[in-house]
Amino acid sequence: MTAASDPGSGKRIALLGAPVEVGASQRGTLMGPAALRTAGLTPVLESLGFAVEDHGDLSIADLHQNDDVPPPNTKHYREIGAWIRALSARAYRLASSGAIPLFLGGDHSLSMGSVNGVARHWREQGRELFVLWLDAHADYNTPVTTITGNMHGMSGAFLCGEPGLDQLLGDEPRASIKPDQLDLFGVRSIDKLEKDLVRDRGIDIADMRRIDEFGVGVLIRRVIDKVRARNGVLHVSFDVDFLDPALAPGVGTLVQGGATYREAHLVMELLHDSGLVRSLDIAELNPFLDERGRTARLAIELVGSLFGQQITDRPTPTNAIVPP
């Protein structure tokens, strides 16, 4: 583990594995953190000049499960509650340390904890945390709207304070974001009642039809402009099923028609140039379903673009996160 001398400089990245898999119907995402490390996450980040602190993985053996009554239609509610309470507390501490936290999943239920903890930190700093949800799915179901009961599909709704999971965090402080602080990007699968809820809340959604029409550059710049106009910071929650299955087969919820290789890299490059990203989830990588590590390697490439890796040399904007 390497440390940097200035905790507020943006030169440190803190890795934390969250090998949770019970939020999804397909097991195997518990191997995601190990696959990302094996694919070379730390060397890529260090090659870009960052000091990387690997805090290992959270262990389910160390997590306390509450005995509250689970709401209906919430599979593995108590176990997921234990995960997100622990993740929220660790996310808050990592963000407060001045490092850029990277949460390695694990299914997308991990974001209930990671985003909550990071949002709590930034709220104390007087700044809003915006969340860019790169995902084939909206993940905005509640116990009332869900078809499957799988809680990885409720993460966005929980983060925006929707009712139904009010006791999930227990005594851990809740730092909900407003619906206008969530941007859904790359969506191409959404349930009927979930779609109604997203529309009623006025959540910005760039589905694949809009991406086809306007391009990722225009739409990502709109997100960046909104965050910058409100002096906010940005958390990127990257579900690898955002990518087209032909590129990234290692996920349990494949949906055709996802982002192409260049679209995904352009998203990450523009986010880097914005200088607004202060935390990241990588969710839903399932090495059991992958093909010789293809999906893990591509995820690492995209993280590299997010933190400054370039195809050709060009001037780096002064507001980007750049180590010395």
Catalogue the active-site residues: 108, 135, 137, 139, 152, 239, 241, 284
Cβ-Cβ contacts under 8 Å for 226 (sequence gap 6 or more): 130, 183, 204
Q: Are strands 12-18 and 51-57 parallel, antiparallel or unpaired?
A: parallel
Give the end-to-end CA distance of the chain in Å, rounded to a whole number.
19
H or E stretch including 92? helix 77-96
User: How far apart, in whole angstroms, are the C-alpha atoms of residue 188 and residue 110?
Assistant: 21
Are 142 and 162 within 8 A, CB to CB?
A: yes
Whether 32 contacts 105, CB under 8 Å:
yes
Number of alpha helices (DSSP H) and beta strands (DSSP E) in the chain: 10, 8
For residue 230, give the H/E element and its range: none
Cα-Cα-Cα-Cα torsion 294, 298, 299, 300, nearest 10 degrees, comes to 110
- The candidate with the shortest Cα–Cα distance to 206, out of 130, 132, 257, 269, is 132
d(CA 239, CA 163): 24
Q: How far apart are CA 204 and CA 167, in angstroms?
A: 27
> Reduced to 3 states, what is the DSSP secondary structure of residue 231?
coil
Phi first, then psi: give them for residue 55, nearest 5 degrees.
-90, 15
Distance CA 166, CA 174 (A): 9
Q: Taking each helix axis from N to C terminus, what angle separates 261-274 and 294-306, rounded to the nearest 10 degrees?
A: 30
The Cα 286–Cα 309 span in angstroms is 25
